[in-house]
Amino acid sequence: MALLRLLLLHLAVSAAADALTPDGQALLAFKAAVLQDPTGALANWDATAADPCAWNGVACSSPDPGSGSAQPRRVVALSLPKKLLVAALPRSPLPSSLRHLNLRSNRLFGPVPPELVAGAPALQSLVLYGNALDGQLPEDLGDLAYLQILDLSSNAINGSLPTSILKCRRLRALALARNNLTGSLPAGFGAQLTALERLDLSFNGFSGTIPEDIGNLSRLQGTVDLSHNHFSGPIPATLGRLPEKVYIDLTYNNLSGPIPQNGALENRGPTAFVGNPGLCGPPLKNPCAPSSNPSLSNDGGDSSAPEAAGGGKGKNKGLGKIAIVAIVLSDVVVILIIALVFFYCYWRVVSSKDRSKGHGAAAGSKGSRCGKDCGCFSRDESETPSEHAEQYDLVALDPHVRFDLDELLKASAFVLGKSGIGIVYKVVLEDGLTMAVRRLGEGGLQRFKEFQTEVEAIGKVRHPNIVTLRAYYWSFDEKLLIYDYIPNDSLSAAIHGKPGVTTFTPLPWEARVKIMKGVAKGMSFLHEFSPKKYVHGDLRPNNVLLGTNMEPLISDFGLGRLANIAGASPFVQSDRVGLEKEQSQQSDASVSPLMSKGSCYQAPEALKTLKPSQKWDVYSYGVVLLEMITGRSPSILLETMQMDLVQWVQFCIEDKKPSADVLDPFLAQDSEQEDEMITVLKVALACVQANPERRPSMRHVAETLERLNGSS
């Protein structure tokens, strides 16, 4: 009887396995290759299940409503990142319907088998980052016509990049960093892969020249990282055709020759080119050797040649006597002129000293000025060493900063944004630490001591609602500010949504109260308790960042001052994104000229004086409050009249509009919190009073908002 039961159980399991879809059977072949599954990621991958769509990490397509018969759903994605799976990738094919495969940060080893990709021709993303894969890349990669993302970084893959990769015309991200790849990039790399948006080939052994056609990759974003390879030859000028926001990292290669100064390569600091001893020219301090002039050698190179027919004897043999005499005489004249100027300056200085002995201090000072005017012996006393100091080390403003400049330069960088004060990058260090780096610009006045004093004072500001400045770097070519990276974008995106993103979830009232309170506390601290009692001068939603728990952090205070010292061109207090486009769309002559969004946050008195005050910040904060409770843009087009948000709210009050017309429609649904919303509206209106003296202090505003019942 026991034997009969075992036989029946075996038959039941076999029947269940036969009932499993082909996609499920392909996945079970993958599971069979897994040697260790310490997190139990595949625990519910059951052979007795008829449908694998409920298995962990598996996603399936939606059923086709137009299909008459009950067709099984197909597996379209397998995502098992960071599960510590130990396995060699199986040679059996994956489900043919698979579009996305993500096995990053596991413990996979061995080569990438051709069968893995050949069996999934519809694959769109292949992410195997952070494993221990080795061997060469299969030529079959080129058969993935729909492939858009290929991330095989941080493995031990060797060999060359297969030429077949050029057939992946839809490829948007190619990340092969930190492998052992060698050889040249395939011919036609830039001409064929024109859809690329991300390119990271760093820390490999690629050699040969950088392809001339790489400038065709006009869709690239963030950092184009070719660093830590063996690329040689000159930097192709076509790299300058890449988008302006792209940061090109060419560090630590064998490149040589002058650095092209065009487009995306223009005005780059030396940090993008270090580690290439053969490179020369700006922005490096290694000047290029002057091009040799062959004319003299050519002129005298025919001394042994027979005389031309009809030519005079010796006429073409080297330089003529008259030319030599003229050169010698011109040299003598130049030397005499220099000597006369030198003697004249010396005579003026000596004579001024003699006069100062007989005519007192006044004459002496006059003689001193003469010495400076001549410029031969005296140095302008205003040129103090501090103004010409160079600082080539990363200066930590926080004892917890454990990275140095070299680690910062090696890190992966992605452009977060660009303004008149420079580019902001998201920088991910090797240990995973993420920082935000603002690049203030290149060149400019060398006022290091002044910059140092200012930046170290800013670095001492510590408050839960203020972004912390952790370190800085100063040199003639680069000025960098290193901040904490804040992950949840800006308050502006939280209020109005991100540009180009259609889905948007409005903030609930409790979250808005938390942000209002946090910003008020941070501004109150800046005004009254910070080392210098700072004025922000440019408070607006774009400069309020949101942390992991949606806590607000004020950014960019003191930035305008630092930009001025560093020689950048600050464009603070104006956000003209899309303004020209909006203006071009206004065809009605009766519409008033559009104002910039940034100007809507400026206090009225800003038009009369250039010196910001704390009352400016109070006004700006009031506009931010109005934006948060109305959900409206800071500038509003009402029928044929353009007005800012303050004017619009005042217009609604004068017209006795109901509160539901003023409040954000999403908030107006919450009638229980209406009293609090009206309280905030009153605080905002007090902050935007036209008379600065009638505006409350930020400390008073913070204390008033603290009485609200919303989350703090």
pLDDT for 309: 34
Tell me the C-alpha to C-alpha distance, in Å, between residue 603 and each of 377, 609, 615: 52, 11, 8
Name the band, by pLDDT with cuts 50, 70 and 90, for residue 581. Answer: very low
Which burial class, exposed, middle or buried, applies to 26 when counting CB atoms under 10 A from its CB (0-12, 13-18, 19+)? buried
Of 3.30.56.10, 1.25.40.10, 1.10.3720.10, 1.10.510.10, the CATH number of 394-570+599-707 is 1.10.510.10
Q: Of 66-70, 297-301, 544-548, which gets the smallest average pLDDT? A: 297-301
Q: What is the pLDDT of residues 476-528, one digit of tens each?
A: 667 889 998 888 888 998 888 877 666 778 888 899 999 999 999 999 999 98
pLDDT for 422: 72
Name the band, by pLDDT with cuts 50, 70 and 90, for residue 443. Answer: low
Name the band, by pLDDT with cuts 50, 70 and 90, for residue 374. Answer: very low
Q: What is the pLDDT of residues 58-89, one digit of tens each?
A: 888 766 545 444 567 888 888 898 899 999 98
Q: What is the pLDDT of residues 394-431, one digit of tens each?
A: 888 888 788 887 778 777 777 787 766 778 888 888 77
Tokens 């003191």, residue located: 558
Q: Of 40-44, 259-263, 594-598, which gets the smallest average pLDDT? A: 594-598
- At residue 255, the 3 state secondary structure works out as strand
Tell me the C-alpha to C-alpha distance, in Å, between residue 670 and each of 667, 674, 676: 6, 7, 11
* Cα gap 277→4, rounded to integer Å: 80
CA 466 to chain centre: 21
Q: Is the pLDDT of residue 360 over 50?
A: no
The stretch 450-469 carries a mean pLDDT of: 87
Tell me the C-alpha to C-alpha distance, in Å, between residue 240 and each of 171, 223, 245, 285, 294: 22, 14, 11, 21, 31
Who has greater pLDDT, 137 or 708?
A: 137
pLDDT for 8: 38
CA angle 208, 210, 216 (to 5 degrees): 150
pLDDT for 322: 63
Name the band, by pLDDT with cuts 50, 70 and 90, for residue 219. Answer: confident
What's the whole-number average pLDDT of the chain?
Answer: 76
Q: Pairing state of beta strands 434-441 and 412-419?
A: unpaired
Who has greater pLDDT, 82 or 670?
A: 82
Name the band, by pLDDT with cuts 50, 70 and 90, for residue 383. Answer: very low
Q: Is the pLDDT of residue 193 over 80?
A: yes
Q: Is the pLDDT of residue 579 over 60?
A: no
Q: Is the pLDDT of residue 649 over 80?
A: yes
* Cα gap 62→650, rounded to integer Å: 51
CATH superfamily for domain 26-62+72-280: Ribonuclease Inhibitor (3.80.10.10)
Name the band, by pLDDT with cuts 50, 70 and 90, for residue 602. Answer: confident
pLDDT for 342: 61
| pLDDT > 90 in the chain, percent | 24
Name the band, by pLDDT with cuts 50, 70 and 90, for residue 534. Answer: confident
Q: What is the pLDDT of residues 130-148, one digit of tens each?
A: 999 999 999 888 888 899 9
- State the span(s) of the chain assigned CATH 3.80.10.10: 26-62+72-280
Q: Is the pLDDT of residue 301 over 80?
A: no
Instruction: Give the length of the chain.
Output: 712
> Which residues fall within 8 angstroms of residue 214, CB to CB, at 6 or more apart?
189, 190, 236, 238, 239, 242
State pTM to two decimals: 0.48
Q: Is 51 a catalytic residue?
A: no
pLDDT for 334: 61
pLDDT for 295: 36
- State the span(s) of the chain assigned CATH 1.10.510.10: 394-570+599-707
Q: Is the pLDDT of residue 679 over 60?
A: yes
Tell me the C-alpha to C-alpha distance, in Å, between residue 505 and each of 426, 498, 501, 508, 624: 25, 11, 11, 9, 19
Q: Is the pLDDT of residue 471 over 80?
A: yes
Who has greater pLDDT, 232 or 500?
A: 232
Highest mean pLDDT, choosing among 289-303, 345-359, 437-451, 685-699: 685-699
Q: What is the pLDDT of residues 92-143, one digit of tens each?
A: 888 888 888 999 999 999 999 888 777 888 898 899 989 999 999 998 888 8
Q: Of 64-78, 268-282, 382-396, 651-665, which gets the smallest average pLDDT? A: 382-396
pLDDT for 402: 80
Q: Of 157-161, 375-379, 573-577, which gets the smallest average pLDDT? A: 573-577
The stretch 41-51 carries a mean pLDDT of: 82
Q: Which residues pair with 199 in a beta bridge?
A: 174
Q: Are 168 and 141 in contact (CB under 8 A)?
A: yes
The stretch 636-653 carries a mean pLDDT of: 75
Catalytic entry in 140, 151, 225, 538: 538
